[in-house]
Structure 1
Amino acid sequence: MTPERRDPVVPTATYRLQLQPDFPFGAAAAAVPYLASLGVSHLHLSPVLEAVPGSLHGYDVVDHARVRAELGGEEGLRALARTAREHGLGLVLDIVPNHMAMAPRHNRALWEVLRDGPDSPYARWFDIDWKAQDGQVLLPVLGGPLGDEIGRLKVDGDVLRYYDHVFPLREGTAGLPLPQLLDAQWYRPVWWRLARTELNYRRFFSISELIGVRVEDPEVFEATHATVLRLLREGVIDGLRVDHPDGLADPGGYLRRLHEATGGCWTVVEKILADHEHLPASWPVAGTTGYDALRRVDGLFADPAGCGELLGHYRHFAAPQTDRGGDWEATARRAAYQVIRHELATELDRLTRAAGRVCAAAPEPALRDRAPWALRTALQELLVRMEVYRPYTPGDAATVVTEEAAADARRAFLVPEEAGAVDVVRDLLLGRYGDGPEHVEFRTRFAQTASALRAKSVEDTAFYRYVPLLSATEVGGDPGRPALPPEEFHAYCTRVQRDWPVSGTVVSTHDTKRSADVRVALAVLTECPRRWADLLAEVTRAGDDVPDAQLAWAAWQTVFGLGPADPERVAGALLKHVREAGLHTSWTEQQPPYEEAVARFVTAGPCGEPGERVRALRAELEPHIRANVLGTALVHLTMPGVPDVYQGTEAEYLALVDPDNRRPVDFPPGDGGDKAALTRAALRLRARRPEAFGEAATYEPLTAEGPAASHCLAFARSGRVVTAVTRLSLRLAGAGGWQDTELPLPPGRWTDVLDGSREFTGHARVADLFERLPVALLERAGDEAGAE
């Protein structure tokens, strides 16, 4: 049923709540009066459908038909919606179309597929290759080879048990001897290590506990979206955030179907864009969830010259060791090779089989006689050279799988004649040999594998190996170019206001590796790189128990960015860091001696007495950190787009990678100081003057004049609001301060929103603008406020 078409409710600002059993709908409802007072228009809820019991995030959905009981069920959600409406707030919901939890005892649809096989009505739900593994779904759950574990597999009535795992038995097989019983099932429990190479279902990245869902099938779409669509029709929720659309077979087709089914509600997608990449114009969405904005805001507060100098100091610091991430492009490429050959080997195998089927059945002689190993090599070499997450159409493939990349890929072949496999693969991607079902399947598999490889190799591996400036290793970022000039920021904002004016913007999320307040503290190090290098040379003395230089550099930056913190939080984040980096230990190949050495180093060094010297430097640089914190917050809240405020970040919020950043927060979060006052003032201004920020608004860069002009970033919104912030304040102080620098304001009288007693006109002295705070938010005063 298609809902009646109506104008979508567009938020002015959203507030993200991370729901979990310790923070259910009732706790969210209790926080509503406070959250409404901030000035947001909508609460942004993490996934609310039934998930694996105890889940702290909700992205492991097991039942799309039910609202999660642990959060309060559908009645709890409706009660939250009523409370929110009473306070003038709506709800935006995070949905997960790409995958479900591989948890048969909780996932009824999957249970029936494992029991009844490909004839199950639910078989079409899941992206399973039934032609592989003799038609059995591999379940990588055993702690060792089957021969070692078979004694721990128990038949219990009509189910098979293995510790906490429970699986259904195919009808008529319960009485068979165990070896024959296992052979007779539609699934096969195997050693968990086989997931790397033998798996025959699509996963979320390389996480075998999450199985891909085929929402490209209309019936599957209807079944998995019925509850969410009903909640939209009934006005319980107003908008959607779509998680990981790049994993889908046809993201554009999915989003068009979703747009039609929702009546065109406000929808943003978690799409990670490279600097040169734009969101597909054909997608009927409001925009992205905002990682592209995060990258531009962060870039404003990093010093380009200092980034280069910091990189040089890091290379010297780590010089005795090899392969320690001193070159971003090389680091990313090495990580991509490792991931495609190991973690995603099974995905590459399936893609190679898809290519082989096209070639074998093709009438074109150019496609014939291509050995599987040559196709696999060509695919690998093209995939690791992609600089975006995926292509969406054959036309996209021409721009993301370039001739330059193909020429480079050919050099991987020792025999030039075999290098023709690269051209075969590229031509298939470009649609030069037709659009039959096998051609479409191949292009789809390539795109899905590409997105998994990019996410796993860049976000989850290379970002943990390339550590000169940790704040640059953030989702959507380019660590090879952390700093951006104001002109590039202005150009981005101008384009967003023109093309995607109600796209989402963020600076902290449940997935950021460091909260914005941690990242902007680290950015100050680009303004004093020599001082940082000298300090690390002192605190990391020869003979200290330092596991390796890469880890030491990352650890010291971690405690600088975080400030005083529980050592367990730091140790947990750094343990995750070294396992993700995969240089000395990993999640699947853990090396206890190395990990124990890391723990000792963290306790004795960064979290011990030497760490006090790092924290002392942080305290000394606090005014400049504060300038970055306030500047980042104000730019985020007033730039084009709909700002999403992550829970607790209206005040100082210092968090590391998940699960550290998913802990429940208190409401209100205590005395938030200047940041909380600024956030409240900016959000209330957006709510009071939506016309200055919405779809019909304008964005105008403002250019300061004078000796310190480059340190003032300013812009006007619709001629009614002016934002001005300080950038690179440590460099500014070293150069003598603002002196006679002025900011020409648009016509009219301008009132300081953060201090209503001050007014400005004409050319305002920047020193006066920033007399009390390193930022200024101005509103046009008087009758002129309503004038065009």
Structure 2
Amino acid sequence: MTPERPDPAVPTATYRLQLQPEFPFEAAAAVVPYLASLGVSHLHLSPVLEAVPGSPHGYDVVDHARVREELGGEEGLRALAGTAREHGLGLVVDIVPNHMAMAPRHNRALWEVLREGPKSPYARWFDIDWEAQGGQVLLPVLGGPLGAELERLEVDGNLLRYYDHVFPLREATEDLPMPQLLDAQWYRPVWWRLARTDLNYRRFFSISELIGVRVEDPEVFEATHAKILALLHEGVIDGLRVDHPDGLADPDAYLLRLHEATGGRWTVVEKILADGEPLPASWPVAGTTGYDALRHIDGLFTDPAGFGELLGQYRRFAAPQTDRGGDWEATVRRAAYKVLTHELATEIDRLTRVATRVCVTSPEPALRDRAPWALRTALQELLVRLEVYRPYASGDAARIVTEEAAAEARLAFVVPEEAGAVDVVRDLVLGRYGDEPGHVEFRTRFAQTASALRAKSVEDTAYYRYVPLLSATEVGGNPGSPAVPPEDFHAYCARVQRDWPATGTVVSTHDTKRSADVRAALAVLTECPQRWADVLAEVTRTGEGVPDAQLAWAAWQTVFGLGPAAAERVQGALLKHVREAGLYTSWTEQEPPYEEAVASFVTAGPCGAPGERVAAFRDSLAQHIRANVLGTALLHLTMPGVPDVYQGTEAEYLALVDPDNRRPVSFPPSDPGDKGALTRAALRLRARRPEVFGDSATYTPLTAEGPAAAHCVAFVRSGAVLTAVTRLSLRLAEAGGWRETVLALPPGRWVDVVDPGREFVGHVRVGELFEGVPVALLERVG
């Protein structure tokens, strides 16, 4: 039976604040009056539980039972909630069920496990494979092989120290000689490079500093959620954002348990949906955090024909490197192989061991006599062909691990009989051999590995290798086909209103690789690909100091989207870019000469004198960038769902990938401009008329008529509020403007919400509707 959809205290709009020691609860409370005046209903707080000291984000939780002292502790959180209540606001809090920080000196539960081993009452908290590595938890903290670092390990009473690292010693082992002492522990400090191949605990993606938590265990769930649930039931907080549910053993069961424990509070999940993938209908949540909305909004302002031309320009510019980034699907596949054999080698090893154990012990003849290497190959070949993050218990796994994928995977085997390993793996994933514990464990780990692989290979690798249009390389995006026709956008909105009316929507977050305003500028390049190619030919005429063509293309697009900025900001983003791409340098195998060349190129080129030509080109397109910026903002704030406004984005907000997008912002913004006025008007309208945008609201597309009809995207919410935006304004201008294009308004008198002196009835010339501003937000008043 499908649980009832939660609906108590559904926000009308949320405002995301990035809490950190430099911006604690007290600072958040100080800006509450301003945020209340903006028109949001809830503050959306980044994680509030105790984290590693100094953490700038809070996702490295160390204690679920305490509110973070560096932010002001529980007293500070309650004071913030009180201030928010006084101004009519509630609180939504980010929670992190999948992982904790691998920081024993701060993580008491982990400390006890390292001291007492698998018999510790906390051992059930963590996803550790005690059968591997001789029953010792590998800790990849040493700067080099043990032999080179042994003298730096010191015993201090019942503690083991290594620089800033501190570990507990097993009882009665402190007097042993160092080699024997290390052998006697429930853990083993090792060279950090062994994390790639030898870890025996589940981690967050490939981040060894974050250890997986087993919230599928009811006792672990209770212990790790007690404080948050108490704050919910006491009315301190009102709703939840769930970070990375795909990493969990059973997201379906977890979300049901959470729904029951919260009493159905408004909850959204950070679920990244592939293009066309639905959110599982059985999940008792309000919806996603909104990356699917981001993809559809961005796509609307991307010219499909122009993107094709831009892709051709990119391939010519970047040749011959395009063999590693000129085709999207091929780029993803190559990235997936690379991630499986490098970053996730330890995860695929563990999954292979589980599969081998299942086959060896199975009474099913079809599962017997499968070599570990064959099972490993089958796993790799199937995993790299998944087009979504993972299968779910509530879904049809055969639609995820398809027969088509299996047929391709079999081609990796020379001997047909050995290719039967593919069928064995697929049948185990599909549950065709029952639900014995080993089979369930295999399906669980397959899904968790698939999720990590998709995130690392697509978000963290392919997006940095396939760069014809940087605005399309965003979480949840489809860079191979980024454009979204108006009819597809309207169909998406209608589905959201019907199926998930209280889902979250976003256009900028703490995780977006570029803010919405940067992406809006970049989208204009799809309307003028030849002009962009001409500008690049001009600024790269000499070719001096260019590390590689792909990087150069991405660098020039970066400064076009961002506008004038300090070289340090651009260097930081592009250094992350090349390390994530992993073609010439990486986080773990850094190439200083190449990285120095990147920094020098950025300084001399995109952020030097040649960059002034790009800045001038950007200035020449200012009105079209403005149309995209305002159109993006208005669609986000009035489409179905609950909009989440990222801090500072109510005004112009130009930011690159983290940590650039987590810098402090001004409250209120110094120059809110047109975007600020539009955002304030839309949010206040949502607050004043929540029924127009809520669960029982309606969504009705409007179609303009005339020669430029395709450039006007419009819809009506509940017959009372009308949104209209300009699409592809540069193409519109080149075609002669709006001319005789008209938009038929529904019956009644319609007033401009931003400029109440303007009223419209009946058929309105679109050029008149967009006079002065390329968007319109109208409210029916009679």
Q: TM-score, normalised by structure 1?
A: 0.98
CA distance in 1 between partners of 2:395 and 2:64 (Å): 34
The equivalences for 1:479-494 within 5 A come to 479-494=479-494
Counterpart for residue 785 of structure 1: none
Q: Note the C-alpha offset of 1:320.
A: 3.2
The equivalences for 1:596-635 within 5 A come to 596-635=596-635
Counterpart for residue 202 of structure 1: 202
Residues 389 and 454 of structure 2 are in contact (CA less than 8 Å); yes or no, is this contact kept in structure 1?
Answer: yes
CA distance in 1 between partners of 2:294 and 2:322 (Å): 32
Counterpart for residue 786 of structure 1: none
Q: Secondary structure at the match of 2:645?
A: strand
CA distance in 1 between partners of 2:62 and 2:258 (Å): 21
1:233 corresponds to 2:233:
yes
The equivalences for 1:529-678 within 5 A come to 529-678=529-678
Counterpart for residue 144 of structure 1: 144
CA distance in 1 between partners of 2:397 and 2:95 (Å): 28
The equivalences for 1:220-369 within 5 A come to 220-369=220-369
CA distance in 2 between partners of 1:546 and 1:317 (Å): 12
Cα deviation, 1:617-648, whole Å, max 9, x if unaligned, reads 00110000000000000000000000000000
Residues 395 and 430 of structure 1 are in contact (CA less than 8 Å); yes or no, is this contact kept in structure 2?
Answer: no
1:159 corresponds to 2:140:
no
Cα deviation, 1:279-319, whole Å, max 9, x if unaligned, reads 00000000000000000000000000000000000000011
Q: Note the C-alpha offset of 1:275.
A: 1.3
Counterpart for residue 758 of structure 2: 758
Residues 630 and 774 of structure 1 are in contact (CA less than 8 Å); yes or no, is this contact kept in structure 2?
Answer: yes
Q: Secondary structure at the match of 2:11?
A: coil
Residues 60 and 101 of structure 2 are in contact (CA less than 8 Å); yes or no, is this contact kept in structure 1?
Answer: yes
Q: Note the C-alpha offset of 1:362.
A: 1.1
Q: Note the C-alpha offset of 1:323.
A: 3.1
Q: Secondary structure at the match of 1:715?
A: strand
CA distance in 2 between partners of 1:361 and 1:189 (Å): 33
Residues 252 and 394 of structure 2 are in contact (CA less than 8 Å); yes or no, is this contact kept in structure 1?
Answer: no
Residues 280 and 395 of structure 2 are in contact (CA less than 8 Å); yes or no, is this contact kept in structure 1?
Answer: no
Q: Structure 2: which amino acid aligns with 1:538? A: E
1:14 corresponds to 2:14:
yes
Q: Structure 2: which amino acid aligns with 1:625? A: I
The equivalences for 1:7-46 within 5 A come to 8-46=8-46
Q: Note the C-alpha offset of 1:762.
A: 1.3
Q: 1:376 to 1:6 in 2, by over 3 A?
A: closer
CA distance in 1 between partners of 2:569 and 2:27 (Å): 25
Q: Structure 2: which amino acid aligns with 1:520? A: A
Counterpart for residue 389 of structure 2: 389
CA distance in 2 between partners of 1:548 and 1:453 (Å): 27
CA distance in 1 between partners of 2:543 and 2:316 (Å): 17
CA distance in 1 between partners of 2:134 and 2:554 (Å): 46
Counterpart for residue 433 of structure 2: 433
Q: Structure 1: which amino acid aligns with 2:189? A: P
1:102 corresponds to 2:102:
yes
- Structure 2 alignment gaps of length 5 or more: none
Q: Note the C-alpha offset of 1:763.
A: 1.2
Q: Note the C-alpha offset of 1:542.
A: 3.4
Residues 7 and 266 of structure 2 are in contact (CA less than 8 Å); yes or no, is this contact kept in structure 1?
Answer: no
Q: Note the C-alpha offset of 1:393.
A: 2.1
Q: Secondary structure at the match of 1:357?
A: helix
Q: Note the C-alpha offset of 1:657.
A: 0.2
CA distance in 2 between partners of 1:172 and 1:759 (Å): 83
Q: Secondary structure at the match of 2:65?
A: strand
CA distance in 1 between partners of 2:65 and 2:603 (Å): 47
Q: Structure 1: which amino acid aligns with 2:371? A: A
CA distance in 1 between partners of 2:442 and 2:721 (Å): 51
Q: Secondary structure at the match of 1:237?
A: coil
CA distance in 1 between partners of 2:320 and 2:233 (Å): 62
CA distance in 1 between partners of 2:528 and 2:589 (Å): 38
CA distance in 1 between partners of 2:162 and 2:587 (Å): 22
Counterpart for residue 65 of structure 1: 65
Q: Secondary structure at the match of 2:754?
A: coil
Residues 324 and 550 of structure 1 are in contact (CA less than 8 Å); yes or no, is this contact kept in structure 2?
Answer: no
CA distance in 1 between partners of 2:637 and 2:180 (Å): 63
Counterpart for residue 771 of structure 2: 771
Q: Note the C-alpha offset of 1:746.
A: 1.1
Q: Structure 1: which amino acid aligns with 2:22? A: D
Q: Structure 2: which amino acid aligns with 1:604? A: A
Q: Structure 2: which amino acid aligns with 1:193? A: R
CA distance in 1 between partners of 2:318 and 2:171 (Å): 61
Tell me how many residue pairs correspond in the alignment.
Answer: 778
Cα deviation, 1:687-706, whole Å, max 9, x if unaligned, reads 01101000000000100100
Q: 1:40 to 1:408 in 2, by over 3 A?
A: same
Q: Secondary structure at the match of 2:139?
A: strand
CA distance in 2 between partners of 1:431 and 1:91 (Å): 41
CA distance in 2 between partners of 1:54 and 1:8 (Å): 35
The equivalences for 1:81-96 within 5 A come to 81-96=81-96
- Structure 1 alignment gaps of length 5 or more: 783-788
Q: Note the C-alpha offset of 1:361.
A: 1.3
Q: Structure 1: which amino acid aligns with 2:303? A: D
The equivalences for 1:123-134 within 5 A come to 123-134=123-134
Q: TM-score, normalised by structure 2?
A: 0.99
Q: Note the C-alpha offset of 1:141.
A: 0.5
Q: Secondary structure at the match of 2:323?
A: coil
Q: Secondary structure at the match of 1:697?
A: coil
Q: Secondary structure at the match of 2:738?
A: coil
CA distance in 1 between partners of 2:470 and 2:293 (Å): 18
Q: Secondary structure at the match of 2:606?
A: coil
Q: Secondary structure at the match of 1:418?
A: coil
1:685 corresponds to 2:673:
no
Q: Structure 1: which amino acid aligns with 2:477? A: G
Cα deviation, 1:688-743, whole Å, max 9, x if unaligned, reads 11010000000001001000000000000000000000010000000000000011
Indicate the percent of aligned positions where both proteins have the same amino acid: 85
CA distance in 1 between partners of 2:220 and 2:461 (Å): 33
Cα deviation, 1:343-372, whole Å, max 9, x if unaligned, reads 000000110111111111111110000000
CA distance in 2 between partners of 1:43 and 1:285 (Å): 19
Counterpart for residue 742 of structure 2: 742
Q: Note the C-alpha offset of 1:83.
A: 0.4
The equivalences for 1:495-510 within 5 A come to 495-510=495-510
Q: Secondary structure at the match of 2:278?
A: coil
Q: Structure 1: which amino acid aligns with 2:54? A: G
Q: Structure 1: which amino acid aligns with 2:657? A: V
CA distance in 2 between partners of 1:674 and 1:724 (Å): 16
CA distance in 1 between partners of 2:542 and 2:419 (Å): 49
CA distance in 2 between partners of 1:779 and 1:498 (Å): 23
- After alignment, is 323-332 or 420-429 more displaced? 323-332
CA distance in 2 between partners of 1:658 and 1:745 (Å): 43
Q: Structure 2: which amino acid aligns with 1:16? A: R
Cα deviation, 1:668-697, whole Å, max 9, x if unaligned, reads 111210000000000000001101000000
The equivalences for 1:358-507 within 5 A come to 358-393=358-393, 395-507=395-507
CA distance in 2 between partners of 1:201 and 1:440 (Å): 18
Q: Secondary structure at the match of 1:363?
A: coil
CA distance in 1 between partners of 2:406 and 2:478 (Å): 23
Q: Note the C-alpha offset of 1:322.
A: 5.0
RMSD (CA atoms)? 0.9
CA distance in 2 between partners of 1:274 and 1:764 (Å): 38
Q: Note the C-alpha offset of 1:276.
A: 1.3
Q: Structure 1: which amino acid aligns with 2:57? A: H
CA distance in 1 between partners of 2:532 and 2:45 (Å): 40
CA distance in 2 between partners of 1:543 and 1:309 (Å): 23
Residues 250 and 393 of structure 2 are in contact (CA less than 8 Å); yes or no, is this contact kept in structure 1?
Answer: no
Residues 318 and 324 of structure 1 are in contact (CA less than 8 Å); yes or no, is this contact kept in structure 2?
Answer: no
CA distance in 2 between partners of 1:406 and 1:745 (Å): 52
